[in-house]
Amino acid sequence: MKTWQTLPRSFRRYPVRPPDSGIARRKSIWERIHIDPWLLGMLLVLMAAGLLVLYSASGQRIEAVIAQSVRFGVALVGMVIIAQFSPSTFLRWAPLAYGVGLAMLVAVEVAGDVGMGAKRWLEIPGVIRFQPSEMMKLAVPLMVAAYLNRCQLPPRLRDIVVCAVIIGVPVLLTAIQPDLGTSLVVASAAVIVVLLAGLSWRLIALVGAFIAAGLPVLWMNMHNYQRQRVLTFLDPESDPLGAGWNIIQSTTAIGSGGLWGKGWLQGTQSQLEFLPERHTDFIIAVLGEEFGLVGMLMLLCLYVMIVGRGLWLATSSQDTFGRLVAGSIILTFFIYVFVNVGMVSGILPVVGVPLPLVSYGGTSSVTLLAGFGILMSIHAHRRLLPR
Amino acid sequence: MPQRPDTLKNPGQELRIFRVRALLAVLVVVILTGLLTGRLAYLQIVQHDLYSTRSEKNRVRVEPLPPNRGLIYDRNGVLLAENRPTYNLTLVRERVDSLEETLTLLVELLDLPQDDIEAFNVRSRQRQRPFQPALLMSDLSEDQIARLAVNRHRLPGVEVEAQLLRYYPDAEVMAHALGYVGRINAEELKTLDTGRYAGTHFIGKTGVERFYEEELHGQAGLRKVETNARGRVLRELGRTDPVPGKNLTLTLDKSMQALAYELMDGRRGSIVAIAPATGEILAMVSTPGFDSNQFVTGIDVASYRGLQEDLDLPLFNRAIRGHYPPGSTIKPFLALAGLIEGAITPNSTINDPGFYQLPNDSRRYRNWLRWGHGRVDMERSIAVSNNTYYYSLAHDLGIDKLHEQMSNFGFGQRVAHDVQGESAALMPSRDWKRARFNQPWYPGETLSVGIGQGYWQVTPLQLASATAALANQGRWVKPRIAMEIGGEPLARDLPDTLPDIQLDNEAWWDRVFSGMEKVLTGHEGTARRTGVGLEYRMGGKSGTAQVFSLGQDQRYNAAELEERLRDHALFMAFAPLEDPQIAVSVIVENAGGGSTHAAHLARAMTDAWLLDNEAPDIDEIKEELEADTAGVEGN
């Protein structure tokens, strides 16, 4: 495989180039449009692989593949547009985005649509219908990074308390919708910012202990279906026809795939509809069944390379805000992957997190690629910043 | 957002911190990815076989193919038990939009009581996997099927499935002899071979259906099919055909059975007819009968309670479980016992003053004729049913020899080869009384046994088979109800047959037969009215059994008693005398009027079997019955 040989070298090339030589050099087309070709290339490969699996997972409905492609197209255009803004723009607008997001979360609580037992959607009838919590996945880390950008790092206790409030309010609002999955994603995206900013190890240990102590309290406040998910995770066989069905069927799908898989479109678990939510949250089980361990590892490899490339871009950013935001975006991306694959393969409880850019669905793709747009903007605009 | 003036940014330090943290992040990413890789490798390499099997089990369903139950015919090939297609109502919960609405609609459409909604709700949960249809109701009527078909669009997830169900065309007449099948219950499930019974819902509960369950059932087949998660069969991967159950041909004659049932005319009682030469049971009727088809689909509580609480005990199989004092019907057997033991000869006589007294005892044991029959020999003792003769004989024999000899005729034991649930009834003995009451045997009790009263109890089947053995001049043939099983005739000689009964002088059989013939044709025979116009030679013996014992010297008028306190009428007979083709026992509960009623029915049975007449006129027989039972005739 060619990419294996070419990629490491290309990773090395960027820092070798003087960050700001001052010498007028002809900009490449990629630099002109503020896009990182390697990251874009890998994302396109991922989306292509995703569409391939989606065709099988949707029961070979080409309509689903076309619909998903259109969404990818829109999201990619969005990414390119976002990449054109300079990071200073995001820094300026972060508080506003955060404030609007917060207001909408409150609005959802007051007047939101109920879907699947949870208030998640905000609708302006006939115009648009979306989940404000989705937007907060980007707005909260941006806000935290913007705040920390003002402070001396590593952050002092006072700054951390402020960050905790910034994070806590939207996370709580999302959690009571209730949407535990998204609230955890929002929280981790923002917490990662704080961690990358240099949160002291002692505090990390302290918070860790605090969370461990708080778990029983969390349990007491959970909805029944959330508790059921946890219980079923601990023992799927306890309810094989109900809540345990999903996890039993997904591990069966993956396990029966073996090393090489049953072949594309040949997975009996997925094609015969034993696998639930096979084109959304559980799509990786289709891949596992039809392409085996080899296919799974190739996909994981692709994800890790994207994360590696993203982290590299973050590190090579020249200011704290950019680094924190870029690092958070890419690590959150990884958390998505880990949580999704972990839950489908049965080592994490089922918490409705889609597999990035593979699961069928528009909102998450748009948010993800918007994030990558910010990442690319941070990278592509770096020479302009120090002035 | 402007920087706060009081803080000094240190870009170098911040970059260093970030690099350390980013490096740690890489480490975490690598570790977590390693964890996922490990988990996936565990699932896909280490546990691959387990999950492959699971996935196959998901995909491939082994469907049992239940065998068709063997059919049951009578000796002339008339179908007695068949399998008819019936229609079941099933429901797939996953395909139903609103369970509550659907069930309400179903109950409304099918015109069922509201209680069934809850029953349906419970039944809809009884299944092993999602998308499996649950059985809500069996045996839909044509009308119900039509109504479901019309409303199909309103009932997604509701299906009508065809199934073969046992059906008995002559249920009431055959119910006791044939038995019936019913749903397998939890108790039966424990002992069943689940492989053989995969997919079978019914099992023989009583009668022939129960006794020949193994032969009738057959062997279940298998069908491997690929299904999707909704349980829809996509293709068949392989199959083993079921082995259908064996057809059964019974020795019963449906027309004889129907005749016996009609002769009983709704009265409580039983008629059993046996072909003496072969032991074939020609008819075995217990009345009243019941509709055994009700039990196949599951009888409703009200109907079952009705049958249970009916004073006539329709569910009770009198032919094999009814215990009756045999009364005088056993006098020919006692005479034979006396001949064998040397207590009497055919020519020895007694003088009957109308009663019998034990030595040193003032109690008088009465003959039914108050003034006595005078000089009585063996033949006359049978013909006039003299009690005194048998008091004397019983006293001479003693209970031990009585018990031994009567046991040789099958009394007190199960006699038939393949009759399910047969009772041994009771042939009393010293040992039995000691065990039962912890009392010694009293000589007076021997006298009671001598006229078929006291503790002695027989079943109609026992009486018929003893009569058959007598008709065979002592040669025992075990009664049987199956003639052919899957085309194979049942062996002529069956195991555990009683030893033949030997007389020192073979000619004495004719003397006993002669006494029995005089019962019907002699000028003082107790059933001489029945014997009028006989077209063949017939031997028989009448008997009445007291429902309660009368005090000494007490006379009574049958008409004054409640119907249920009246005597049972009994009769045993065989014909023709020189070459017996049929042996019959008849018991009519609370018939009153002595034994005449039973004797008429026995004659109707032998007539039907021996004469080539068209079906006998039941009404004519009934008229004769009424005329003849008006006058009370002896024992």
Alpha carbon of B525 to those of A230, B275, B584, B628: distances in Å?
A: 92, 25, 18, 14
Q: For residue A255, which residues of chain B lie inside 8 Å, CB to CB?
A: 43-44, 47-48, 50-52, 54-55
Predicted confidence (pLDDT) per residue in B399-427, tens digit = 999 999 999 999 999 999 999 999 999 99
Give the mutation candidate from A256, A282, A316, A320 for the B interface (greatest B CB count, under 10 A).
Answer: A256
pLDDT for the residue numbered B469: 95
**What pLDDT was estimated at residue B561?**
56
Taking residues A91-112, report their average pLDDT.
87
Q: Rounding to the nearest 10 degrees, give the CA dihedral for residues B50, B51, B55, B56.
A: -30
B224 versus B536: the higher-pLDDT residue is: B536
Q: Which member of A304, A311, A314 has the closest CB to residue B33?
A: A304
Percent share of chain A, pLDDT over 70: 84
Distance from CA of B125 to the nearest CA of A (A): 11
Give the pLDDT score at A356: 93
Q: Please, what's the b/e burial string for B90-106 (b: 16 or more CB within 10 A of its CB; e: otherwise)?
A: bbbbebbeeeeebbeeb
Whole-number Å distance between alpha carbons of A241 and A232: 11
Cβ neighbours of A233 in B, within 8 Å: none
Whole-prediction pTM value? 0.66
**Chain centroid, CA B367 distance in Å:** 39
B444-483 pLDDT per residue, tens: 999 999 999 989 999 999 999 999 999 999 999 999 999 9
pLDDT tens figures, A211-221:
888 888 888 88
Is B23 an 8 Å CB contact of chain A? no
Asked if B9's CB is within 8 angstroms of A256's CB, the reply is no
Gap between the Cα atoms of B295 and B284, Å rounded: 20
DSSP B46: I
pLDDT of residue A117: 54
Instruction: Tell me the shortest Cα–Cα distance from B124 to chain A, in angstroms.
Output: 14
Least confident of A38-42, A277-281, B77-81, B318-322: A277-281
For the stretch B574-627, pLDDT in tens is 999 999 999 999 999 988 767 888 999 999 999 999 997 666 677 777 777 777
Superfamily in which the B254-290+316-628 domain is placed by CATH: DD-peptidase/beta-lactamase superfamily (3.40.710.10)
Any idea where the domains of chain A sit in the sequence? Answer: 35-84+239-387, 94-221
How high is the pLDDT of residue A329? 94
Residue type, B287: T
Alpha helices in B42-153 (DSSP H): 48-59, 99-109, 115-123, 142-150
- Among the partner-chain residues A92, A258, A311, the one whose CB lies closest to the CB of B22 is A311
Give percent of chain B with pLDDT exceeding 70: 93
Catalytic residue among B138, B286, B292, B328: B328
B63-250 maps to which CATH number?
Answer: 3.90.1310.10
Write the DSSP symbol of residue B376. E
**What are B204-220's pLDDT values in tens digits?**
999 999 999 999 999 88
| Nearest chain A Cα distance for residue B55, angstroms | 6
Partner A contacted by B146 (CB < 8 A): no
**pLDDT for res B302:** 87
Domains in chain B: boundaries: 63-250, 254-290+316-628
CA–CA min distance A127, chain B (Å):
31
Active site residue B465: no
| pLDDT tens by residue, B514-571 | 999 999 999 999 999 999 989 999 999 999 988 765 444 445 555 555 777 888 999 9
Residue B493 has pLDDT above 70, yes or no: yes
C-alpha to C-alpha distance for A280 and A243, rounded to whole angstroms: 17
Q: Is the pLDDT of residue B629 over 80?
A: no
Rounded distance, CA A153 to CA B371, Å?
Answer: 135
Q: How far apart are CA A33 and CA A84, in angstroms?
A: 7
- Residues of B in Cβ contact (< 8 Å) with A315: 18-19, 22
DSSP state letters, A33-97: TT--HHHHHHHHHHHHHHHHHHHHHTTS-HHHHHHHHHHHHHHHHHHHHHHHS-HHHHHHHHHHH
Q: Which of A152, A274, A346 sits opposite B10 (nearest CB)?
A: A152
**pLDDT tens digits for range A340-358:** 999 999 888 877 788 999 9
pLDDT, tens digit (0-9, with 9 covering 90-100), for B41-54: 999 999 999 999 88
pLDDT value for B521: 94
Identify all chain A residues contacting B29, using CB atoms and an 8 Å cutoff.
304, 307-308, 331, 334
pLDDT at residue B425, as a whole number: 93
Phi, psi of A191 (to 5 degrees): -65, -35
Amino acid found at B426:
L
Minimal-distance CA residue of chain B relative to A269: B55
Cα R_g (chain A), whole angstroms = 21
Whether A386 has a pLDDT exceeding 50, the answer reads no
**Residue with more model confidence, B594 or B389:** B389
Q: What is the mean pLDDT of chain A?
A: 83
Answer whether residue B65 shows pLDDT above 90. no
Chain A contact present for B233, CB below 8 A: no
Which residues sit opposite B164 in a β-bridge?
B85
Residue range B54-74: mean pLDDT, rounded: 87
Contact call for B40 and A296, based on CB within 8 A:
yes
B-chain residues within 8 Å CB-CB of A147? Answer: 1
Reduce the secondary structure of B328-371 to three states and give it as a string. Answer: HHHHHHHHHHHHHHCCCCCCCCEEECCEEECCCCCCEEECCCCC
Find chain B residues with C-beta within 8 A of A196's C-beta.
Answer: 18, 21-22, 25
pLDDT, average across residues B324-340: 95
- ipTM reported for the complex surpasses 0.90: no
- pLDDT, tens digit (0-9, with 9 covering 90-100), for A246-288: 888 899 999 999 999 999 998 888 888 888 888 888 999 999 9
Q: Is the pLDDT at A321 greater than 50, yes or no?
A: yes
